[in-house]
Structures are given as structure tokens and as C-alpha cells.
Amino acid sequence: MALLSFENLQHSYKQLGEQFYSMQAPTPVTAPMLIRLNRELAEQLNLDPAALASEEGLKLLAGNAIPDNIEPIATVYAGHQFGGWNPQLGDGRAILLGEVLAQDGRRYDIQLKGAGRTPYSRMGDGRSPIGPVIREYLVSEAMAAFGVPTTRALAAVATGEPVMREGLLPGGILTRVAQSHLRVGTMQYFSARGDLESVKALADYVIERHYAEQIEQSREEPYTALLTSIVAAQAQLIAQWMSLGFIHGVMNTDNMLLCGETVDYGPCAFMDSYNPMKVFSSIDTQGRYAFANQAEIGRWNLSWLAQALLPLMAQAEGADEQSALKKAEAILENYSNIFMGHYQHLLAEKLGFAEASEEVNPLSLKLLQLMAEEGADFSLTFRTLADHLAPPGERQFLNDIHTLPDTFANWIEAWQALLGGKNIAPQEARRLMN
């Protein structure tokens, strides 16, 4: 294994051209301290955990010592933020070291978040308080454990330097890992400038890096197939979020990765008391990114990706813009079907059914309605239902801290009757629910 070396480090994105990035080294910090190293992830990335935990490894994770063969960059992108267009954003406090080839044969970005100012920092200081670093480490790793596509956390480092926010706070740097950090906003940046050559180069790169197999098997032309693949990935991702009661909080187009992973764990949360219109971002005063709006916002974001890809789709159709437009509209229309199908399936499993059906779906919907009316805790409601099926001697402590309201009695009776009608044994239902 290598430290972050040297032989297995690549920088394929940098080869696309200087219009995609700016060269930018991290800004050294005074007294770095390793808070947490994700050793299991390091091994999956073919990195040496012991070397990363060493003094030299800490220097690298803090951005204090970058080997000569690593050429760090900050990438440029644009985006719609809370519905408003910003023609240039970019990595304002994140620096991409390069990519490593992991044990699964895929390439993964290694990025230092909070590593100092870049050309895209605008009025920011390029730093991060340690609180958000620890938060992203914990939440992203929890999402990975739940099986949700997500960026990962390789390391959390305290910088030994204060950052000014609402007051002076200790600073930190997160080493973030992703299949790539390319965003819908990356496509938008070049599309808005009429730079079709760069849009094509980026699309070809995304195909090669993330969707080569799907597109090779598709009967569609490559750019139509690319849009189809990304739309499906995002629809399924957001369905997974919502099945867990997860509220992202800042679903801007620059926070939607083309690889289909969750990114940016800022004002996010797992819902407690169920309220479909709950928000966790203090600046989302209109509820744009409320829990129940997430699926539709995903579709809205993807419509901007479709707009960026449309000229390439039209070229492949022999410059037939109307034909390309109809295909894009059909793909976006199918987004809702993919989302709902996946969401209903996940809800069915949470109730102990192997698949959604015309009988199960209304039951799921009725439960959510009851939860909203009663303000029931999202996760504990499902955990309590699973416990409800256990033999008395195997029941966990949840019923001691969370009981379902009496208004759930008729629903529970209908649920148990449907399980019995489908000959689903309690232990099998609990296995799916757990």
C-alpha cells in the first residue's frame, strides 16, 4: 500500500484542460492534530492507514506538505442556489489532490475540505470550523453504513487555528472521498457560456468514469443515455433519503453530483417528529428544500442538466432539436416514476413486505398520514413496529421509550392482517424491517 502516493495517484480530470480548474495548493496550518482516521476506508482505497496516521501523513492531511508529484487544484462550477442563478461558484474551500484506484477498481477523488482560500473563495476564508467537519464525518459515514450512495470521510484534522464565524471557533479539515466531485453545476458553468466543446469533453469524461457500462448496454445514443443514467441515479438516491427521514437542506444544483452520491452535509438532519414540510436550513425561510419537496427539487435540478446536454443530444440526432427535446422531456417525466417506484419499495420493506403493491402502498401512505397528524418520531415509529412483531422475550427497550398513539390501533390491525394474508411470518417481516 501507498501513503497517498505517488504510484497510484492520478489526476485524470486535470487533463481535460485549464478551463475546468485553477491550480491551488492548500494553505498550511500551525498545529494540526489528527482527530479521526477512517482506517477501513483507507484500506479500501489502497492507502496505508499507518502511514496516514504518521507525522508525515498528518502533514499531508492538514495540507502542510504536498509531495512534488501531486498537483492540487480547485475546480470551477456554477449553480442555482435556492433557485437563484450564480454563474460562477467553484471550490471555495476545497482542494482536490487527485484520484486513487481503489480495491473495487474504481477511481475516487481525494479532497481536502477547509484547506484554505482558492480563486473561488469570494469573500470566504477557505476554512471550516471543526464542528461541521466532525458532523460531515459522522453523517456521511452513517449514510454509507445505511447503504446510501454518498461521499465518504477519510480523516478529520484539527488545524490548531481559530476561524471567525458567529465567534472564534476551532478550525478543522475534512479529507473527503467521492467517486468524483463533478456536479450538475459543473455542466451548467460551461453550458451557460456557450462552450459546447467543454460540455462535450465533460460529458465524455463522466461517461467514461461513471457510466461506461450502462451506456454501452443502452440502445440510446451516448448523451441521451447519460441523461437517462443520471436521472435514474438521482431518483433512486432521493428515494433512499426520504425512506430514512433524511433532509438534505441545501439541494442547490452545485450540490448534486453527476455520479449519484450525496454531497454537502451542511444543514442536514434525520427527521425526528414527522412533518413533511420540515426544514433544517436557517436560511430556507420559504421551505424550498423541505422534506416533502426533495423529489420535485431533484427533478428541477435535473432539468438544468438536460438543458446543458440538449445540444449534444441534438447533434447525435442529426441536429434535430425537437427530437432531442422530446427525448429529454420523456426522461425527466420518467424521473417521477423511478422515484416513486423505489420509494414505495423501500417503504414496503420498512413495513415487512418484500415489495410494494396496490395493497401495501395505501397502507404506507396511511401510516405517514398518521405520523404527521400525531407528530410521531420518524425512525422510532418504524423501529417500534418491528419490535411489535417480536416475541415478548425478544422485544427491545424501544417500547419503554417510545409507544405508538392509540390512533394507530386500527392501522396496526390492518397491517398485521395484510402480513398474515400474504403469509409473511413475523420473523421474516422483522428481517426486512431491520
354 close to 253: Cβ distance less than 8 angstroms: no
221 close to 317: Cβ distance less than 8 angstroms: yes
Q: Annotated catalytic residue: which of 109, 254, 284, 387?
A: 254
**Residue 272 annotated as catalytic:** no
Query: Phi and psi dihedrals of 365, rounded to 5?
Result: -60, -40
Q: How far apart are CA 116 and CA 108, in angstroms?
A: 22
Q: How far apart are CA 14 and CA 205, in angstroms?
A: 11
Q: At what angle do helices 294-316 and 196-206 cross, to 10 degrees?
A: 110
Residues annotated as catalytic (active site), given as ranges:
254
